[in-house]
Amino acid sequence: MPDAVAASLTGATLPHGRIDADAPRYPGPLDLARALSALALAPAEGAAFTRDGPRADVEYRDLGLAAATAGAIGIKHIRAIMPLPHPTGWHWHDMTAHFVYVLRGWIRFEFAGVEGPVTVHAGAGLSQPAGVAHNVVARSDDLEVLEINVPARYVTRDLAAAPGA
């Protein structure tokens, strides 16, 4: 939460850090010059995908949310460009929230502490438990996802083996 928003909370915090949805988080509406995030449009026409990411079997498109939120939130459109050569291996991301929405195809994860695989199909979303080790074990060759990360920049840390193994 940006400091400006946190400092302006006026009695809206409930027990256990929850926020009262009926209480305003800050005095508003805001004019554009005081907005808490920038206006950012990522048009589809002429969109460029890059290979600037950790996996060689997919390509990435930054949708501009990191710039619009000063790095608080990131969103990428990720799409497969070849079959998944092998599971990603157990790893975790140093972030506080991680969401995946599947646009096309499907993806299958294993999560430490979760019995059995978790498969997410087109049209479904998944809140990955932040900081928990996981392994992408399979996916469709036509996979396309939107991935939302908090914060936008994070580190991925590989593990030698499954947690508890």
Beta-carbon contacts of residue 71 (< 8 Å; ≥ 6 apart):
151, 152, 153
Whether residue 138 sits in one domain with residue 87: yes
Residue 15 has a pLDDT of 60
> How remote is the C-alpha of 42 from its chain's centroid?
17
Whether residue 3 sits in one domain with residue 67: no
Residue 54 has a pLDDT of 79
- Name which of 9-23, 75-89, 124-138 the model is least confident about: 9-23
Instruction: Read off the pTM.
Output: 0.82
pLDDT band at 19 (very low <50, low <70, confident <90, very high): low
* Amino acid in position 151: P
Whether residue 86 sits in one domain with residue 130: yes
Whether residue 47 sits in one domain with residue 25: no
C-alpha distance from residue 1 to each of 23, 66, 97 (Å): 16, 14, 12
- pLDDT (tens digit, 9 = 90+) per residue, 79-128? 999 999 999 999 999 999 999 999 999 999 999 999 999 999 999 999 99
The residue-averaged pLDDT of 33-37 equals: 90
Whether residue 55 sits in one domain with residue 12: no
Q: Locate tokens 């396309």: which residue?
A: 144
- pLDDT (tens digit, 9 = 90+) per residue, 51-89? 887 788 999 999 999 999 999 999 999 999 999 999 999
Which residues partner with 128 through β-bridges? 98
The residue-averaged pLDDT of 31-56 equals: 88
pLDDT band at 16 (very low <50, low <70, confident <90, very high): low
Residue 165 lies in a domain: no
**CATH at residue 76:** 2.60.120.10
The parent domain of residue 4 ranges over: 1-36
- Structure-block tokens of residue 98: 């991680």
